[in-house]
Amino acid sequence: MKQRTLVTALGLGLAMAFSAGATAGEGPDPDRVWVKFKPGSQAQVAQSLRGAGGRIHHQFDELGAFAVSVPQQALQGLRNNPNIEYIEADAPRYPMAQIRPYGIDMVQAPQAWASGATGGGVMVCVIDSGIHAAHEDFQGVNLVGGYPTGWNTDSCGHGSHVTGTIAAADNNVGVVGVATGEIDIYTVKVFNGSNCGWSYSSTLVDAANRCANAGAKVINMSLGGGSSSTTERNAFQNLYNAGVLSVAAAGNGGNTQMSYPASYDAVVSVAAIDQNKAHASFSQRNSQVELAAPGVGVLSTVPFESASATIGGTGYIVEGMDGTFQGTGSGTVVNGGRCLSSGSWSGRVVMCERGDISFADKAANVTAGGGTAAVIYNNEPGGFGGTLGAGGSSIPVVSMTREDGLDVVGSKLGTQGSVSTVVNNQGNGYAYYDGTSMASPHVAGVAAVVWSAVPTATVGQIREALAVTAEDLGASGRDTLYGWGLVRTKAAIDYLTGSGGDPDPTDPDPTDPDPTDVVAKVGNINLSHVSRGPNTNTTAAVTIVDQNGQGMSGASVTGCFSGSVSGCAVGSTNASGGVSFSTGNYRGTNLTFCVTDVTGPNTSFDDTNACRSR
């Protein structure tokens, strides 16, 4: 039984977090860009930017880049600056919640707790809208700090909801997180305002670097945007190389488009499923989806209380119906069935089961029967939100889960009840939200619990364990809806501790469903003569790409000529995946060249059409 109250799900809009000079009524700055400078030219480029009227927001020495707002008319001149490698958009990043918690059991968290793994000793950083640190479910949680000033407040509720899924305390009130409040939480606030708002890719990179500097092993980003950034990609690759696991929401567009940062290779992209383990219709589906987790009707912590109910001395989570009268109703609790007509309910709090007629009609019948408040409980498992329409009500009307409703009807009838729909914006609220934003923190929490059980594991081993042990959903193997499947805490721990799965989690076996395994393919082979004359080399210019068609750098490639000339050689691909092989003094046409092997860290070669002839 859950205590305290539930809020109506927020419709999250756009508002700036800090330092960019935007207000809730403005949109993202169209003049804000990344500027990548050449080594040794930082000072010159900074001077050029300021001379062009630019305003520098962030400077990233390790990436060789500035985030800056520059007038549009100055951009072309800057692109011609010999000290600047490239200029790209500093893309907006948005929170990804939609609306409305069963997921804890689904991801096997309690089984991990039983084995002693609760996340202790691991820091998770949440980049979001801050946290309502005064919430009852964060008391006792080690909130180690955050950035900037005001990180411990949350005006839109999104960050608090996300953090609750990761770490809400096991304290007999409200909800419990995947890590039961044992982990360390560091908060970086990048969204603000009642509508949550927007931020930038450079702000996100700065936030992620602050997470790493604070000691975070896991970063959760329930946010994203539709355009990629080379500089942002490099930043998250650097963090992964440094041992930080970044987890992000796959996106809520319900289509195949990529969302960033989730779709970078160094970030775990998380899709949403419902309580039946079915793919959520709003969840993105694409080749970068890596794992799935609960993201529909997820109950978690928020600052807002829209309603409260105490019946027979017990507090219950309820949600104020949209349009309800804001006030308090109390009296003896009675059962009104489905409240299909008015009864003799004068001075009573009436329990109504959902179904048959509208919420507004049920409220009207309770009012006509003299009831002081209506509690409408679900006719199927879980909770719900609802509206009373334009007519509203003249008494408090709230919704309740089926489980709690049956508890009241079964054991609390005849006791005293009190229902309030007076809103408290800085309270101990709870809400059901939908979104990949809600799925992502499940995975971040699982990663923390697994890491606490195997503290010597590398970031690659943690990532592999989550993928290898995921419950396969949908098509066999990795697919675009679920990735490798539903993340599972205890199974991943067993895998890493030798209780199940591959005994060597560092093994880059391409038959393992390992997200760090890269399938290499031949993108192109071009056979050509490199000069004129009777004895001329024939060169095979080869491009090696990964399964996403991106050129692979630093891969070792074995190529063989056969026919009039034969022999094999080994070359290494450049940054674009290119490598060349030469015959040495041969110009004939009876010649075949084949790529026979491509090797690299966790790389497998899979191409049956890797030969060219001339």
Residue of 160, 199, 393, 437 marked catalytic:
437
15 vs 567, higher pLDDT: 567
Please tell me the distance from the alpha carbon of residue 374 to that of residue 377, in angstroms, as a whole number. 10
Please tell me the distance from the alpha carbon of residue 461 to that of residue 473, in angstroms, as a whole number. 22
Tell me which residue of 516, 428, 12 sits closest to 222, measured CA to CA. 12
- Would 309 be classed as within a structural domain? no
Q: What is the pLDDT of residue 585?
A: 63
User: Do 318 and 299 meet the contact criterion of CB atoms below 8 Å apart?
Assistant: no
- Helix spans in 275-316 (H): none
Dihedral of CA atoms 103, 290, 219, 30 in degrees, nearest 10, equals -110
Q: Is 437 among the catalytic positions?
A: yes
pLDDT cut 70: percent of the chain above it: 88
Please tell me the distance from the alpha carbon of residue 15 to that of residue 66, in angstroms, as a whole number. 23
Please tell me the distance from the alpha carbon of residue 383 to that of residue 99, in angstroms, as a whole number. 13
Please tell me the distance from the alpha carbon of residue 63 to that of residue 589, in angstroms, as a whole number. 47
- In a shared domain, residues 43 and 119: no
- In a shared domain, residues 43 and 145: no
The answer to whether residue 508 scores a pLDDT higher than 80 is no
User: Structural domain of residue 158, as residue ranges?
Assistant: 95-299+434-496
- In a shared domain, residues 111 and 156: yes
Of the pLDDT bands very low, low, confident and very high (cuts 50, 70, 90), residue 556 is: confident
- In a shared domain, residues 443 and 553: no
Please tell me the distance from the alpha carbon of residue 108 to that of residue 101, in angstroms, as a whole number. 13
Q: Is 158 among the catalytic positions?
A: yes
User: Do 384 and 296 meet the contact criterion of CB atoms below 8 Å apart?
Assistant: no
Q: What is the pLDDT of residue 577?
A: 83
Mean pLDDT of 357-382: 94
Please tell me the distance from the alpha carbon of residue 235 to that of residue 545, in angstroms, as a whole number. 22
- In a shared domain, residues 381 and 416: yes
Q: Is 330 among the catalytic positions?
A: no
Mean pLDDT of 20-41: 72
Please tell me the distance from the alpha carbon of residue 516 to that of residue 461, in angstroms, as a whole number. 9
Q: What is the pLDDT of residue 587?
A: 58
- Would 20 be classed as within a structural domain? no
Of the pLDDT bands very low, low, confident and very high (cuts 50, 70, 90), residue 554 is: confident
Tell me which residue of 573, 325, 307 sits closest to 419, measured CA to CA. 307
CATH code for the domain of 560: 2.60.40
Count of domains observed in the chain: 4
The answer to whether residue 601 scores a pLDDT higher than 80 is no
Of the pLDDT bands very low, low, confident and very high (cuts 50, 70, 90), residue 228 is: very high
Residue of 128, 407, 514, 517 marked catalytic:
128
- In a shared domain, residues 86 and 99: no
Q: What is the pLDDT of residue 441?
A: 97
Task: Judge residue 323's burial from the number of C-beta atoms within 10 Å of its C-beta, 0-12 exposed, 13-18 middle, 19 or more buried.
Answer: middle
The answer to whether residue 452 scores a pLDDT higher than 50 is yes
- Would 389 be classed as within a structural domain? yes
- Would 550 be classed as within a structural domain? yes
CATH code for the domain of 34: 3.30.70.80
30 vs 191, higher pLDDT: 191
507 vs 195, higher pLDDT: 195
Tell me which residue of 321, 298, 300 sits closest to 419, measured CA to CA. 321
Residues near 501 by beta carbon (within 8 Å), at least 6 away in sequence = 465, 468, 469, 491, 494, 495
CATH code for the domain of 391: 3.50.30.30
Long-range contacts of 270-274 (CB under 8 A, 24+ apart): 270/295, 270/436, 270/439, 270/440, 270/442, 270/443, 270/483, 271/295, 271/436, 271/439, 271/481, 271/482, 271/483, 272/296, 272/434, 272/435, 272/436, 272/438, 272/439, 273/439, 273/473, 273/482, 273/486
The answer to whether residue 502 scores a pLDDT higher than 60 is no
Task: Judge residue 314's burial from the number of C-beta atoms within 10 Å of its C-beta, 0-12 exposed, 13-18 middle, 19 or more buried.
Answer: middle
- In a shared domain, residues 118 and 249: yes
The answer to whether residue 192 scores a pLDDT higher than 90 is no
The answer to whether residue 454 scores a pLDDT higher than 90 is yes
The answer to whether residue 12 scores a pLDDT higher than 90 is no
- Cα angle 93, 95, 99; round to 5: 155
Mean pLDDT of 283-309: 91
Mean pLDDT, the chain, integer:
85
The answer to whether residue 571 scores a pLDDT higher than 50 is yes
Mean pLDDT of 439-466: 96
User: Do 200 and 227 meet the contact criterion of CB atoms below 8 Å apart?
Assistant: no
Beta-bridge mates of residue 305: 424
Q: What is the pLDDT of residue 423?
A: 76
User: Do 103 and 298 meet the contact criterion of CB atoms below 8 Å apart?
Assistant: yes
Q: What is the pLDDT of residue 177?
A: 94
User: Do 462 and 315 meet the contact criterion of CB atoms below 8 Å apart?
Assistant: no
Mean pLDDT of 291-314: 89
Residue of 57, 132, 135, 158 marked catalytic:
158
Among residues 361, 394, 420, the one where a domain terminates is 420
In 409-537, DSSP assigns E strands to 416-420, 429-433, 518-529
The 10s digit of each residue's pLDDT in 328-346 is 999 999 999 999 999 999 9
Q: What is the pLDDT of residue 522?
A: 85
Mean pLDDT of 366-382: 94
Please tell me the distance from the alpha carbon of residue 443 to that of residue 460, in angstroms, as a whole number. 15
Number of H helices, E strands in the chain: 12, 34
Structural tokens at position 495: 């895998």
pLDDT cut 90: percent of the chain above it: 58
The answer to whether residue 15 scores a pLDDT higher than 50 is no
- By three-state DSSP, how is residue 491 classified? helix
Please tell me the distance from the alpha carbon of residue 521 to that of residue 509, in angstroms, as a whole number. 17
Among residues 44, 68, 91, the one where a domain terminates is 91
Q: What is the pLDDT of residue 182?
A: 83
- In a shared domain, residues 275 and 126: yes
Phi, psi (deg, nearest 5) at residue 395: -135, 160
- Would 428 be classed as within a structural domain? no
User: Do 200 and 32 meet the contact criterion of CB atoms below 8 Å apart?
Assistant: yes
388 vs 443, higher pLDDT: 443
Mean pLDDT of 558-587: 81
Tell me which residue of 263, 254, 268 sits closest to 287, measured CA to CA. 263
- Would 512 be classed as within a structural domain? no
Q: What is the pLDDT of residue 200?
A: 92
- In a shared domain, residues 274 and 404: no
Of the pLDDT bands very low, low, confident and very high (cuts 50, 70, 90), residue 180 is: confident
Of the pLDDT bands very low, low, confident and very high (cuts 50, 70, 90), residue 308 is: confident
Q: Mean pLDDT: which of 26-30, 197-201, 471-475, 535-539 is highest?
A: 471-475
- In a shared domain, residues 405 and 456: no
Q: What is the pLDDT of residue 506?
A: 38
Residues near 158 by beta carbon (within 8 Å), at least 6 away in sequence = 10, 12, 95, 97, 128, 129, 191, 196, 222, 437
- In a shared domain, residues 353 and 415: yes
Q: What is the pLDDT of residue 237?
A: 96
Q: What is the pLDDT of residue 499?
A: 62
Please tell me the distance from the alpha carbon of residue 65 to that of residue 76, in angstroms, as a whole number. 18
Of the pLDDT bands very low, low, confident and very high (cuts 50, 70, 90), residue 352 is: very high
Of 351-355, 413-417, 438-442, 523-527, least confident by mean pLDDT is 523-527
Q: Is the pTM of this model over 0.95?
A: no
547 vs 384, higher pLDDT: 384
Tell me which residue of 117, 176, 96 sits closest to 433, measured CA to CA. 96
Residue 441 is inside which H or E element, if any? helix 436-453
The answer to whether residue 458 scores a pLDDT higher than 80 is yes
- In a shared domain, residues 115 and 251: yes
- Would 511 be classed as within a structural domain? no
140 vs 306, higher pLDDT: 140
Mean pLDDT of 296-321: 86
Of 11-15, 75-79, 100-104, 130-134, least confident by mean pLDDT is 11-15
Tell me which residue of 612, 245, 478, 57 sits closest to 49, measured CA to CA. 57
CATH code for the domain of 158: 3.40.50.200
481 vs 505, higher pLDDT: 481
The answer to whether residue 528 scores a pLDDT higher than 80 is no
Dihedral of CA atoms 122, 128, 132, 138 in degrees, nearest 10, equals -20
